[in-house]
Structure 1
Amino acid sequence: MSEKKSRLLILYSTVDGHAKHICEYAQEKLKNSKEITIASLDDDSVQELNDFDEVLLGASVRYGFHRKNVYEFVREHKDALLKKKTAFFSLNLTARKPEKASPETNPYIVKFLKKVDWEPNLKSVFAGRLDYPSLNCPNRLAILLIMAITNGPKDLSKVHDFTNWSKVDEMVESIRNL
């Protein structure tokens, strides 16, 4: 008799698609050990949490904040989340600096979790990527200014990927063992 697989819901909130990419990567790595459903928080059909044993929520930061739908989701479903095994990752360029690359030292994940008063079982933070070529002019200029102030990359012709995939793999393995 085979052991029943844990049911994992992977949700993401993304601006440029990288949080979704990381969630799809986790889905691929975990597909043999968990029964997985993946969805965007932008979809109106956010799954019924009672159908799942575990929840992974991945969210990107833009201009210092996670998107509004992430705050709303956690607040609306906090009681259900507290009864499940949960994992959360934040994707923000500040995490490219070693001193801000952990859940305990990254200001955006700390501020978010405090604001929504939620403590997931597993927390991760990744630097993600900066895709200058795909940004519209106002966003490109705003992010360029932020990068100039924070000593980040300023080459507008490139995609700068800071994702530490070894850290993503560590998160995936931790989720496998939740």
Structure 2
Amino acid sequence: MKILIVYGTSEGQTRKIARFMEEVLQGGDHKVVIADATEEPPSPDGFEAVLIGASVHMQKYQSAVSNYVMRHLDILNKKHSAFFSVSMAIASNIEEEHEEIKKMTLDFLERTGWNPDEVQYFAGALKYTQYDYFKKLIMRMIAKKEGGSTDTSRDHEYTDWNNVKTFVLNFCSETVQSVR
């Protein structure tokens, strides 16, 4: 089966998740094409399934992902497709944080007109070693509030890789069943 994965990333965690999905799917003999939304990704037309992911920064998803979805909306709404959202809020123990991300995702889908078959949420990472001084302070304050690590001497990854693997394998299984 031919699967397209398009992603938007700000600090690289969404790209890492997309690459992991690619590895899992290629191990199942699928033909996978992966593309950054900022680099002219291919049309979803020639694919049986499409996965699109974006990370949350400053209360929104990357504009390149929105532009891609709107440019290919008619095709996407006819394909078996899924959206995966990556954010630190999902790692939080605060339910309001989860609800805020879900609302942001619903707003994104409503604004673009896309109706994916599935939506999945993955926790991201704190990339303290990549932040400038001010961003490091802000992210440390947010992490403290949400129960994340405040050790700024290293990066902290919160992505549940087993959850990512289960999601992508189930998605492909559903795609195979819907194609038959």
TM-score (norm 1): 0.85
Matched residue, 1:64: 59
Counterpart residue number, 2:38: 42
Residues 89-100 of structure 1 mapped to structure 2, 5 A cutoff? 89-97=84-92, 99=95
Equivalents in 2 of 1:73, 1:134: separation in Å?
A: 27
User: For the structure 1 residues 75 and 103, does the alpha-carbon distance in structure 2 shift closer, same or farther, using more than 3 Å as the test?
Assistant: farther
- Give the match for residue 114 of structure 2: 118
Could you tell me how far 1:104 is from its partner in structure 2? 10
In structure 1, distance between residues paired with 2:77 and 2:31: 20
Q: Where in structure 1 do 4 or more consecutive aligned residues deviate above 4 Å?
A: 100-105
SS of 2:72's partner is: helix
Q: Which moved more, 1:130-139 or 1:151-160?
A: 151-160
Query: What amino acid does structure 2 have at the position aligned with 1:163?
Result: T
More helix by share: 2
Task: Tell me by how many angstroms 1:107 deviates.
Answer: 3.4
Q: 1:10 aligns with which of 1, 5, 12?
A: 5
- Unpaired runs of 5+ in structure 2? 176-180
- The equivalent of 1:54 in structure 2 is 49
Aligned length: 172
1:24 aligns with 2:19: yes
Higher mean displacement: 48-57 or 148-157: 148-157
Where 2:71 maps in the other structure, the secondary structure is helix
The Cα of 1:166 is off from its aligned counterpart by 2.1
Paired with 1:60 and 1:97, the residues of 2 have a C-alpha distance of 15
Q: CA RMSD in A?
A: 2.2
Q: TM-score, with normalisation over the residues of structure 2?
A: 0.85
CA contact (8 A) 1:100 1:106 kept: no
2:153 counterpart of 1:157: yes
Shift of 1:147: 2.9
Aligned partners of 1:103 and 1:110 also within 8 Å: no
State the SS of the aligned residue for 1:154: coil
CA distance in 1, matches of 2:98, 2:145: 22
Paired amino acid for 1:10: I
1:128 to 104, 124, 127: 124
Partner of 2:178: none
Counterpart of 1:77 in structure 2 is 72
